């Protein structure tokens, strides 16, 4: 079953947030606490949202772009093999986005529509016409860098910025798996969002003029846009929602997630984790399982192995070194756990993924 779609608009009269500030956990229903933001910040740091690629575009009606699923675009956008997240920010004018199921959403200035799983979709303005294949057009677009791209039939104009973010495909699934297929928010409805939008547009202009630091600033702002999307999504999750992000919103489970991600190599036990959080082992186990579907130590084991798998494919460190960094007492213990999780021993996993043999331990 496909995950649902979600649009987020704050209720009328909701208070404004300071730019990227942590929110008061006692300020009322629907407001995130610092533990949630800490857990979210930590996992975003680890999965490494990489160098966003942007398209600075002006559509004139009628116009329609057919964006394929991001795995087909990844060789051009993320040559290292990352998962690609797609989003579109409407700067001026009106547009629409349509899913494969035929559901259409109107887009207004300030709207950000995000496809966390990189689903295929149509983006257009005006009357429906034969869509342009983005996959075929993308190489030429990328050569232009951030020069303004004009597409369409010459009618009403829509200015937008299209962003493509890559992240580790395995580590990203830890929390991406619980996200809907589409998230729509508006960032013009409070000062923090307005600041983010203006900063993004300014950085796009700098990068288009090849000014020093423009690309680096865009990469940081791309993380901020995605983090802001998730933050607003979290604020409006139903109270009975489960999954990684819902767990991060829970004060105690969020604290547990932060500790396990920040100090994953520590010799954690359920008793030690529960003591640090201030809960009984039974309560922590029940709450963690409710949101994440597994006990805390099982979650930690899988996370360590995911980090190990990334190290095998992105570094030249030996299996023994990676085992030690993953808090395993021996290389043999790491090998057994890794094979249970991935179906292959670490050395063969590295060879199959990279074509390289593991270096000998020193």
Question: How far is it, in rounded angstroms, from Cα 3 to Cα 247?
Answer: 18
**Percentage, residues of the chain above pLDDT 90:** 48
Would 3 be classed as within a structural domain? no
Query: Do 217 and 270 belong together in one domain?
Result: no
Same domain, 271 and 197: no
Same structural domain, 290 and 342: yes
- The first and second tokens of residue 90, run together, are 């409407």
Residue 38 lies in a domain: no
Write the CA distances from 320 to 331, 347, 350, integer angstroms. 5, 10, 13
What's the CATH number where 352 sits?
A: 1.10.10.60
Q: What is residue 18's predicted lDDT score, i.e. its pLDDT?
A: 31
Confidence of residue 35 (pLDDT cuts 50, 70, 90): low
Instruction: Give pLDDT, residue 232.
Output: 84
Q: Is residue 10 part of a domain?
A: no
Residue 9 placed within a domain: no
Confidence of residue 156 (pLDDT cuts 50, 70, 90): very high
pLDDT in tens, 50-87: 766 778 899 999 999 999 999 998 888 876 678 899 99
Q: Which two tokens stand for residue 273?
A: 């984790």
CA separation for the pair 133, 64 (Å, rounded): 9
18 vs 340: which has the higher pLDDT: 340
Examine the domain organization and report whether 287 and 189 are in the same domain: no
Distance between CA atoms of residues 189 and 17, nearest Å: 10
Does residue 256 share a domain with residue 173? no
CB atoms closer than 10 angstroms to residue 100: 12
Q: Which domain holds residue 310?
A: 250-362
Higher pLDDT, 193 or 62: 62
Instruction: Say whether pTM exceeds 0.85.
Output: no
Q: Are residues 71 and 215 in the same domain?
A: yes
Using pLDDT thresholds of 50, 70 and 90, give the confidence band for residue 41.
Answer: confident
Both 209 and 356 in a single domain? no
pLDDT in tens, 250-294: 999 999 999 999 999 999 999 999 999 999 999 999 999 999 999
Q: Are 303 and 195 in the same domain?
A: no
Average the pLDDT over each of 88-97, 167-176, 181-190 and give the range with the smallest value.
Answer: 167-176
CATH number at residue 152: 2.60.120.280
Residues 114-125 have a mean pLDDT of 95
At residue 138, the pLDDT reads 87
Same domain (yes/no): 60, 175: yes
32-35 LR contacts (CB < 8 Å, sep 24+)? 32/231, 32/234, 32/235, 32/249, 33/249, 33/251, 33/254, 35/248, 35/251, 35/252, 35/254, 35/255, 35/258
Residue 164 lies in a domain: yes
Residue 147 banded pLDDT, cuts 50, 70, 90: confident
Query: 356: pLDDT confidence band, cut at 50, 70 and 90?
Result: low
Predicted local confidence at residue 34, as pLDDT: 67
One domain, residues 230 and 257: no
The confidence score (pLDDT) of residue 31 equals: 44
Q: Tell me what the pLDDT averaged over the chain comes to.
A: 83
Structure tokens given for 175: 């929390």
Q: What pLDDT score does 240 carry?
A: 85
For residue range 204-256, list pLDDT tens digits in order: 777 667 666 666 777 778 778 888 888 888 888 888 888 898 898 899 999 99
Residues 6+ apart with CB under 8 A from 213: 206
Is 24 a domain residue? no
When pLDDT is averaged across residues 10-25 and rounded to a whole number, the result is 34
304 near 315, Cβ under 8 Å?
Answer: no
Residue range 19-23: mean pLDDT, rounded: 31
Find the range with the poorest average confidence among 96-100, 166-170, 219-223. Answer: 219-223
pLDDT band for position 33 (cuts 50, 70, 90): low
Q: Count of domains in the chain? A: 2
- 274 sits in the region (left: phi over 0; alpha: psi -120 to 50; else beta) called alpha
pLDDT at residue 16 above 60?
no
Whether residue 89 lies inside any domain: the answer is yes
Q: Both 101 and 132 in a single domain?
A: yes
At residue 290, the pLDDT reads 96
Is residue 193 located within the same domain as residue 87? yes
Residue 141 lies in a domain: yes
Does the pLDDT of residue 193 top 50, yes or no?
A: yes
């Amino acid at each position: 079953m496909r995950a649902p779609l979600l649009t987020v608009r704050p209720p009328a009269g909701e208070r404004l947030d300071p730019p990227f500030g942590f929110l008061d956990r006692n300020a009322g229903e629907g407001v995130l606490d610092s533990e949630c933001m800490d857990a979210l910040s930590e996992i975003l740091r680890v999965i490494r949202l990489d160098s966003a690629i942007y398209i600075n575009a002006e559509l004139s009606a009628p116009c329609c772009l057919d964006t394929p699923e991001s795995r087909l675009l990844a060789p051009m956008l993320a040559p290292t093999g990352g998962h690609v997240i797609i989003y579109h920010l409407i700067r001026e004018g009106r547009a629409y986005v349509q899913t494969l199921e035929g559901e259409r959403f109107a887009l207004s200035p300030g709207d950000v529509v995000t496809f966390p799983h990189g689903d295929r979709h149509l983006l257009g303005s005006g009357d429906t016409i034969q869509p342009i294949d983005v996959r075929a057009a993308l190489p030429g677009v990328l050569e232009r860098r951030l020069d303004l791209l004009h597409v369409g039939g010459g009618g009403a104009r829509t200015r937008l910025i299209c962003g493509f973010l890559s992240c580790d495909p395995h580590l990203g699934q830890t929390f991406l798996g619980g996200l809907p297929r589409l998230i729509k928010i508006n960032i013009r409805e409070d000062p923090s969002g307005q600041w983010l939008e203006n900063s993004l547009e300014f950085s796009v202009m700098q990068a288009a003029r090849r000014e020093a630091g423009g690309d680096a600033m865009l990469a940081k702002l791309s993380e901020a846009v995605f983090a802001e999307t998730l933050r607003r999504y979290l604020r409006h999750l139903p109270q009975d929602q489960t999954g990684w992000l819902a767990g991060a919103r829970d004060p105690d489970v969020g604290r547990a997630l932060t500790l396990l991600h920040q100090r994953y190599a520590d010799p954690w036990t359920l008793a030690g984790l529960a003591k640090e959080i201030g809960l009984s082992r039974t309560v922590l186990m029940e709450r963690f399982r409710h949101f994440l579907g597994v006990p805390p130590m099982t979650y930690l084991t899988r996370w360590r192995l995911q980090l190990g798998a990334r190290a095998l494919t992105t570094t030249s460190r030996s299996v023994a070194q990676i085992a030690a960094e993953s808090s395993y007492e021996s290389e043999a213990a790491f090998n057994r756990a890794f094979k249970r999780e991935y179906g292959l021993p670490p050395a063969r996993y590295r060879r199959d993924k990279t074509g390289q043999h593991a270096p000998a331990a020193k």
